[in-house]
Amino acid sequence: MLQAMFNWDDVRYFLTLQRHATLAAAGTALSLDPTTVGRRLVKLEEELGARLFDRTPNGYVLTDAGHRLLPRAERIEREALGVERDVAGEDQKLEGVVRLTATEMLTTRFIAPHLRRFRERYPEIQLELNCTNLEVNLARREADIALRLARPTQEDLIIKRLSFIHLGLYASRAYVDRFGLPKDSLAGHQIVLFTDVRPFRRENDWVEARMDGARVALRSDSVSAAYSAIVAGTGIGLLPCLVADYDHHLVRVGLEGAPEPRQIWQAVHKDLRDSARIRAVLDFLGTILAAPLDSASAA
């Protein structure tokens, strides 16, 4: 009875609001206006004759009726997404949308410079790039392919290590002209660090061990923002060698050693591995991330 009453959109609106707690966040996740999500929720509650959420200062919280509905809605979601994956996995046409999620740096510096070549080869495949450090759920079709710097742990994924990202210290030529290059330590220099959070701890610890009283000019949770700041002469900081070595604005700082390289992990749901358009994107990613960037694409 419930499945006959519910359609897939009802499930999506209900579960997305339950997971994100606010109409604004749910609307962003669904690419809809928050008022649309609110109207659909009211309509669903009217159809079921029950209030599913309490509106609280901290967001939308499930009522008892909402809690009873939740496991059934999740079961419908699993079935619907399974059908979608089965159909997509059997699709042998080199056309359609492929949603790729990757960190901001991977997207802007490693992938985007090559997209023209991909577009020329596969004009009917439309890539949607989601730049985020947050983990997405591939089973829920929040993305088709994920690139991460930590090995994914979700079930039913095909996981492959593509390559390593080696990091080094860099400064802009303008900075070096003004302050010179460090010798045995970073003493007396301006430093660009990452935000003091766990994902960046390895890199920050390595730099901080060599600061010797150097001053922190900037902290950022965005590698791309740190990159731009270093190019602009803000200070010395860690950058991916595969990109920075080819940037004529930058100079490698020759302190001994380097942090442990990061690994690039690729993940795709097992149900999608045989889809032609998914395979085309996977092959593309394997090619560009296994080979150095040339000077034109890295600029």
Distances (CA, A) of 59 to 33, 45, 71: 17, 17, 21
One-letter-per-residue 3-state SS of 205-256: HHHHCCCCCCEEEEEECCHHHHHHHHHCCCCEEEEEHHHHCCCCCEEECCCC
How many domains is the chain built from? 3
Confirm whether 110 is domain-assigned. Answer: yes
160 plus 268 within the same structural domain: yes
Sheet holding 96-102, edge to edge: 125-131, 96-102, 145-148, 262-269, 157-165
Band the pLDDT of 154: cuts 50, 70, 90: confident
Please tell me whether residues 78 and 207 are part of one structural domain.
no
Residue 173 lies in a domain: yes
The boundaries of the domain holding residue 103 are: 91-165+262-298
pLDDT tens per residue, range 206-248: 999 999 999 999 999 999 999 999 999 999 999 999 899 999 9
Q: Is the pTM of this model over 0.95?
A: no
Domain boundary residue, one of 65, 89, 113: 89
- Tell me, yes or no, whether 243 lies in a domain: yes
Q: Are residues 81 and 97 in the same domain?
A: no
